Amino acid sequence: MSADGTIVARKLCKSFGHHRVLKDIDLTVAAGEISCIIGPSGSGKSTLLRCINGLETIDRGVLRVNGEDFGHVEHENAYHAVTPQRLAHQRTRIGMVFQQFNLFPNMTAEANVMSGPVLVKKVARKAAREQAAELLARVGLAGCGHKFPAQLSGGQQQRVAIARALAMDPSIMLFDEPTSALDPERVGEVLAVMRDLADLGMTMLVVTHEMGFAREVAKDILFMDDGVAVERGDAREVLANPAEPRTREFLERVL
């Protein structure tokens, strides 16, 4: 069976200096599944996504993305990291969407969406431009390709960012609080695009405070606190009836 679109972490650890940010994290996302990560600020959610996207190396444990090792420990002090070349290739298969959109401000929406295919995959400009137009239409931004990020609303910019990630034809999409920087009336349009992606069978790992989205769209939810995976399970079950007191406290604060 193909391991495309899968994420497996076992006892994943990550420290910055003496600060242990991820402590023995276990996580499994099957192909086509949507998982949400919730938890207070500073609990390690972004760091976990950055490890999965190869933006950070892990210190210990196992991390397998699309069936390929990103690093594992065979025995004490024998950490095996993936080669930089392998990692660079792997990273093209993983789309990431950030809270602050991170669009190139000096490029049009179309040029933003074309940039990955043209620069990384060496796709011909004409083909990349056609694909960009299709993707912008898919996120509800047909006709906006000529606009610069500053001429777009936050919700529109975030949809361009999603189109840009999709242009690389990823098998996994990671979202780090994609709606947290948006005006409330713009949140729905971004969540709608994410719902469409979920319906198409994209594997998605979403850090979010949108509990409604998590309840409706996610299969599993992971609650993190202080670098620990405190509770993990069926999203509706955990949200309705958390087993751990820390999860319950957090949910009472945010719901």
Residues linked to residue 167 through DSSP beta bridges, in sequence order? none
Of 39 and 154, CB closest to ligand ADP: 39
- Interaction of residue 43 with Mg ion, rule CB under 5 A: no
Q: Which does 201 bind (CB under 5 to 8 A by kind): ligand ADP, Mg ion, none?
A: none
Cβ distance 176 to 165 under 8 Å?
Answer: no
Q: Which range in 16-24, 96-104, 147-155, 191-199 contacts ligand ADP by CB under 6 A? A: 16-24
Distance CA 98, CA 192 (A): 17
Cβ distance 62 to 247 under 8 Å?
Answer: no
Of 42 and 245, CB closest to ligand ADP: 42
- Interaction of residue 46 with ligand ADP, rule CB under 6 A: yes
Q: C-beta of 69: minimal distance to ligand ADP in Å? A: 22
Residue whose token pair is 């086509």: 32
Q: Residue 39: is it exposed, middle or buried by C-beta count within 10 angstroms (0-12/13-18/19+)?
A: buried
Of 14 and 45, CB closest to Mg ion: 45
Cβ distance 51 to 63 under 8 Å?
Answer: yes
Distance CA 51, CA 11 (A): 13
Q: C-beta of 171: minimal distance to Mg ion in Å? A: 23
Q: C-beta of 182: minimal distance to ligand ADP in Å? A: 17
Q: C-beta of 220: minimal distance to Mg ion in Å? A: 19
Q: Which range in 36-44, 98-106, 127-135, 230-238 contacts ligand ADP by CB under 6 A? A: 36-44
Residues linked to residue 68 through DSSP beta bridges, in sequence order? 65
Q: Which does 178 bind (CB under 5 to 8 A by kind): ligand ADP, Mg ion, none?
A: none
Q: Residue 181: is it exposed, middle or buried by C-beta count within 10 angstroms (0-12/13-18/19+)?
A: middle
Tell me which residues touch ligand ADP (CB under 6 A): 16, 19, 21, 39, 41-47
Tell me which residues touch Mg ion (CB under 5 A): 45-46
